[in-house]
């Protein structure tokens, strides 16, 4: 039986105070320029809620929060700046009639989860930028008293770190603390739009083409299995052990290649790469503010070319490649990008173009671990679960902390046909659970 979600109200929430005239035009940065034109979804689940944080309180606190995060209430113009015109964000209230929150958490179903979002997290066409809100919120209330807050935010103005800053800023204001989060704007001053990148990198994703469907599967790696992967990745050196994200990424990359290598529709010898989004805020020297708003991530790529079958040493090699690629994005690299160093910019452009043209088989990783989404307390305590749903980009893996903080949930987006081979991999199933109760 399908989950019943009934929209009971639709509103537009505007900032509680008008945006000052000197802040009306917000320039997008170089990193905003590189961000894909999609909406990023997130869902926060709360149990045992009470009337302390009412609908009125949520609306009023959101309005106050938009005064601080004023760009989100504006509209993108000409693809290069935000007109901070206080047009507002979409706000929906819904009731869920035939499911309890605990049932949805214990038995995740992507199709059900998408009903809890205010819009489809689709690719945003350039021609509709001036018309589309940059943020939409849906507050879903369950008969059992549980609440799910679903959000979709435009990736052209925000990355996952910025989304976390907004979510936590809103929740703090809902609890009465209006000064807890102060976002910092101005990334375009440090990393301005680059005119010589004279084209938008349109997604050539098969998932956005008619007749192809992207599906999402959730794989949960608990602490003990992550420890097994870290032990397997040890190379006997005295170097610091690889991180949770590094070993899980390498494991998924290996299983992805294994399923792809034996696909009947593909040649047996190809170039494979794993692309990681790296948060630059703490890698810049000096570091940028924690709540610097906008896109401040850059993609780094680890590559492997082989026609051989898997061998026992390949996993360690993949961990090393991912680790080296991530650590290569250091303060010196950020400094070169900031100064407009031509080599750095050409390198970034070449990486994007190669991926867009499909010249290699690429899997993409975005880690939301340690970003603080589980700190978002609207007056109901910490969320019991934080997750997202299908994103219209194939071969994308979003990694989120489990609630206890020592595990990782990997949300894998793939074309439906490709997922069949991937999710049946015996080594994947041995280390990851797809139906773990949170």
Known catalytic residues are 155, 377
- ∠ CA 240-243-248 to the nearest 5 degrees? 140
Start-to-end CA span in the chain (Å): 22
Q: Hey, what are 205's tokens?
A: 């994703």
> How many helices and strands (H and E) does the chain possess?
13, 15
Cα 400 from Cα 390, distance rounded (Å) = 14
Q: What is the phi/psi pair of residue 69, to 5°?
A: -100, 60
Please give the distance of CA 140 from its chain centroid, rounded to a whole number. 21
Give 404's contacts (C-beta < 8 A, 6+ positions apart).
223
Assess contact for 299 and 278: CB atoms under 8 A: yes
Rounded Cα distance between 353 and 359, Å, is 9
Upper half-sphere CA count for residue 3 (Cβ side, 13 Å): 24
What span, in angstroms and rounded, lies between the C-alpha atoms of 53 and 401?
A: 26
Selection from 56, 84, 83, 58 nearest residue 69 by Cα:
84
């Amino acid at each position: 039986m399908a989950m019943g979600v009934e929209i009971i109200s639709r509103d537009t929430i505007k900032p509680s105070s008008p945006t000052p005239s000197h802040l009306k035009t917000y320039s997008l940065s170089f990193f905003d320029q590189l961000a894909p034109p999609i909406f990023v979804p997130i869902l926060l689940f709360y149990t045992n809620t009470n009337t302390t944080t009412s609908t009125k309180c949520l609306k009023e606190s959101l309005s106050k929060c938009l005064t601080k995060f004023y760009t989100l209430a504006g509209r993108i113009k000409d693809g290069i700046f935000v007109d901070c015109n206080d047009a507002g964000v979409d706000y929906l209230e819904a009731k869920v009639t035939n499911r309890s929150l605990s049932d949805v958490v214990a038995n995740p179903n992507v199709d059900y989860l998408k009903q809890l979002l205010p819009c489809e997290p689709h690719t945003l066409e350039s021609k509709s930028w001036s018309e589309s809100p940059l943020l939409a919120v849906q507050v879903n209330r369950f008969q059992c008293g549980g609440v799910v807050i679903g959000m979709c935010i435009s990736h052209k103005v925000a990355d996952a770190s910025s989304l976390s800053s907004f979510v936590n800023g809103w929740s703090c204001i809902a609890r009465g603390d209006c000064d807890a989060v102060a976002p910092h704007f101005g990334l375009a001053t440090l990393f301005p739009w680059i005119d010589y990148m004279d084209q938008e990198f349109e997604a050539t994703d098969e998932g956005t083409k008619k007749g192809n469907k992207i599906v999402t599967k959730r794989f949960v790696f608990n602490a003990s299995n992550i420890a097994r992967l870290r032990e397997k990745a040890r190379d006997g050196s005295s170097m610091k052990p690889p991180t949770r994200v590094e070993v899980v990424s390498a494991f998924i990359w290996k299983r992805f290649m294994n399923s792809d290598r034996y696909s009947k529709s593909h040649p047996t010898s190809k170039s494979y790469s794993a692309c990681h989004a790296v948060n630059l805020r703490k890698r810049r020297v000096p570091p940028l503010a924690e709540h610097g708003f906008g896109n401040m991530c850059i993609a780094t790529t680890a590559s492997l070319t082989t026609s051989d079958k898997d061998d026992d040493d390949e996993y360690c090699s993949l961990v090393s490649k991912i680790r080296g690629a991530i650590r290569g994005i250091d303060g010196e690299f950020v400094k070169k990008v900031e100064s407009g160093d031509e080599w750095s910019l050409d390198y970034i452009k070449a990486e994007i173009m190669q991926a867009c043209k499909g010249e290699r088989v690429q899997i993409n990783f975005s880690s939301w671990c340690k970003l603080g989404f589980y700190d978002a307390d609207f007056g109901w305590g910490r969320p019991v679960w934080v997750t997202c749903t299908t994103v219209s980009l194939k071969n994308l893996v979003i990694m989120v902390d489990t609630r206890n903080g020592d595990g990782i949930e990997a949300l894998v987006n793939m074309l439906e046909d490709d997922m069949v081979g991937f999710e049946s991999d015996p080594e994947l199933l041995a280390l990851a659970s797809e139906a773990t109760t949170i």
